[in-house]
Amino acid sequence: MGDTMIKADSLFKSYGQTHALAGVSFSVPAGSVLGLLGPNGAGKTTAVRILTTLAMPDAGRAWVAGIDVLAEPAAVRRQIGVAAQDATLDGLLTGRQNLVLVGELSGMRTGRARTKAAELLELFDLADAADRVVKGYSGGMRRRLDLAASLLTRPPVLFLDEPTTGLDPVSRQRVWEVIRELTGSGVTLLLTTQYLDEADALADRIVVIDHGQVIADGTPRELKERSRSAHVEVTLAVPGPEAEEVIAPLVSGRVSVSADGLRLGAAADSAPGLATALVRALDRAGLLVDNIEVRQPSLDDVFFALTGAHVPGDTSGSGAEPASAGHVGPGAGAAERHSEGARA
Amino acid sequence: MIPAIAQRPRDAAGTWLSTRGVAERVRNVISMTRRNLVHISREPMQLSDVTIQPVLFTVLFIYLFGGAIPIPGGGSYTDFILAGLLALNLTTSTMGTAVGLATDLHEGIIDRFRVLPMWRPAVLVGRSLADLLTACLCALVVAVTGLAVGWRTSAGLPAIIAGFALVLFFAYSLSWVAACVGLNSKSPESAASFGFIVLFPLAFVSNAMVPTQHMPGWLQAAADWNPVSAVTAAARQLWDNPNPSASISAWPMQHPIEASLAWSVLILAVAAPLASRYFRRRTTG
């Protein structure tokens, strides 16, 4: 990996009695995407506000593009694009006027700002609404315009604070596409999100923060492996009593066998190629496999294991053990329910 | 192991002191001024205090009070009141600066400005210039309405223009006081109350509407030293309109032009740096 483009070093920030950040450190290599993941109030936005010169930490240091954020905020502003959580747009200007204003205030000549604005309006599917007043835009359109504003000067470092929160699925997909295109172009991106699938889909590395502290840091794959919560279910064509012994070495924990002897289930470490290994072993034993299902742990499992039970009514933060994630079942439905709970 | 931190880009700093920096600042101010003018064009009712109000006040004062208020030293009330109406309308219109800034700070847009590599005071300067332009419109409305209802001046064009310029300069300096208020307001609504609590008394406890001769002693002293009285008397003097304050011995009434310039410069010198300090304070944290 190349140079570090974003670096936070032991950031502390309190608002009154609330410790928004209690010693957060992370770094983002040039050209990569960091997903800052955490429930509401975890400190994600505070971290972004410090890195984008909008807030001062109580302690700690930060660098963006090699510039000390605290010592030279003005210089940092020349290197960054920011799309904040609350779309920061002028409601009384049109979409186009908003972008031109941002361009001009970033030091572009008016002509160039107009050209870039037109390009981005096209890119974000806002060309038809370009000359309408932003006050009348939908939430999704505002988000896209805000994103466009952050990209206008093609800054090398981008901060997107919950870029898809509150968007409908179509707009969300559209924002994802744009982010993917961007990351292909060498931009360094810090993205905060409370959506696990978003971090999974877009980020090279994920930092999970909760209660102002980093509780996990790794690639999506590393984090998933850490949760070891895959579940294996094998369906045989003909019952085979030896099947239990065949798969036992490949899984962790007890193998459960259904009454008819056709279905076997077990928890397993989420190792690469687990399904292949299982099929081969069963095949060597002469067993016919009808169906095999390995449910990979989702980031949801990791997240809930790490952050503790962020479900309504539980504030202890230590309720869930990593092992319990497997029992919850990583189905999308369960994940959604938990996400809702985390946001509440 | 932490990888090396990227080298800082070469052009990152030091541009503000160069001539390019100055040109960029000017462009920032122009952009911000234009933005505020677009706002006005979107909500023309915002302009009512510089368009409808002057017309209303002119008609009200001249037809309701005109006959009842004698001018010491003689002269028509219409000729007397016009400079006062100009001062009244321009003074109260500075409320727009307070409300406009409070609104900007209240909304997300200020965070956008704060992450841009712009010259931040452009937010303040752009606001004050846009408000100066609306004040010019206000002055035009007052002049045209005045001419329509019989205001006349025998002064030459340079003196007439100088009279308007003096009052406009005062309004501009006052708009920086309004900026200080707007920057310390919790909401646009509380900024608006500034107009009623401070600006209206300021405009009315003066020689703008009535000659101060009839006021109780303490009130007359306050009125004679009120900067609004100085600019009003200065405009009356420049326009050869009835100026009963000329017979008052208080220094500002004897030297209204010097006094109004001094007040305006003093207010600007105090309020402008104060406003930029408040702005910095409101936008760091």
pLDDT per residue as tens digits for the range B222-252: 999 999 999 999 999 999 999 988 888 899 9
Of A5, A53, A75, the CB nearest to B115: A53
Structure tokens at B26: 């000017």
Q: In this predicted structure, what is the pLDDT of residue A342?
A: 36
Nearest to residue B237, comparing CAs of B143, B145, B115, B155?
Answer: B155
Rounded mean pLDDT of B96-124?
Answer: 89
* DSSP letter assigned to residue B153: -
Topology (CATH level 3) of domain A4-224:
Rossmann fold (3.40.50)
Q: In this predicted structure, what is the pLDDT of residue A240?
A: 83
pLDDT of B14 > 60? The answer is: no
Residue of B nearest to A27 (CA): B2
Cβ A88–B109 below 8 Å, yes or no?
yes
Separation between Cα atoms, residue B142 and residue B134, nearest integer Å? 12
Half-sphere exposure of A159 (CA within 13 A, CB side): 27
Cβ A105–B122 below 8 Å, yes or no?
yes
Residues of A in contact with B285 (CB under 8 A): 55-56
pLDDT, one tens digit per residue, over B246-274 is 888 899 999 999 999 999 999 999 999 99
Residues of chain A falling short of pLDDT 50 = 1, 309-344
Q: In this predicted structure, what is the pLDDT of residue A340?
A: 33
Q: Nearest C-alpha of chain B: how many angstroms from A110?
A: 9
Mutation target to probe the B interface, by most B beta carbons within 10 A, among A5, A51, A90 is A90
Separation between Cα atoms, residue A189 and residue A28, nearest integer Å? 8
B247 vs B31, more confident: B31
Q: In this predicted structure, what is the pLDDT of residue A311?
A: 35
Nearest to residue A214, comparing CAs of A14, A35, A2?
Answer: A35
pLDDT, one tens digit per residue, over B151-209 is 998 889 999 999 999 999 999 999 999 999 999 998 888 988 877 788 888 999 999 98
Residues of chain A with CATH 3.40.50.300: 4-224
CA torsion, points B113, B116, B117, B123, in degrees to nearest 10? -10
pLDDT of B6 > 80? The answer is: no
CA A317 to chain centre: 21
CA A222 to chain centre: 14
Q: In this predicted structure, what is the pLDDT of residue A76?
A: 93
Structure tokens at B85: 């109406």
Q: In this predicted structure, what is the pLDDT of residue A163?
A: 87
Cβ B111–A84 below 8 Å, yes or no?
yes
Residue A101 parent element (H or E): helix A95-105
Mutation target to probe the A interface, by most A beta carbons within 10 A, among B30, B110, B116 is B116
Of B8, B11, B35, the CB nearest to A93: B35
Separation between Cα atoms, residue B13 and residue B45, nearest integer Å? 43
Residues of chain A with CATH 3.30.70.100: 230-295
Beta strands per DSSP E along B5-164: none
Cβ A88–B31 below 8 Å, yes or no?
no
User: Interior CA angle at A219 toward A216 and A220, to 5°?
Assistant: 90
pTM reported for the whole predicted model: 0.78
Nearest to residue A244, comparing CAs of A285, A272, A292, A273?
Answer: A285
Mean model confidence pLDDT for chain B? 88
Q: Nearest C-alpha of chain A: how many angstroms from B77?
A: 42
Listed by start position, the domains of chain B span 26-282
Q: In this predicted structure, what is the pLDDT of residue A172?
A: 86
Q: In this predicted structure, what is the pLDDT of residue A269?
A: 74
Topology (CATH level 3) of domain A230-295:
Alpha-Beta Plaits (3.30.70)
Separation between Cα atoms, residue A151 and residue A149, nearest integer Å? 5
Of B12, B109, B284, the CB nearest to A90: B109
pLDDT classification of B37: cutoffs 50, 70, 90: very high
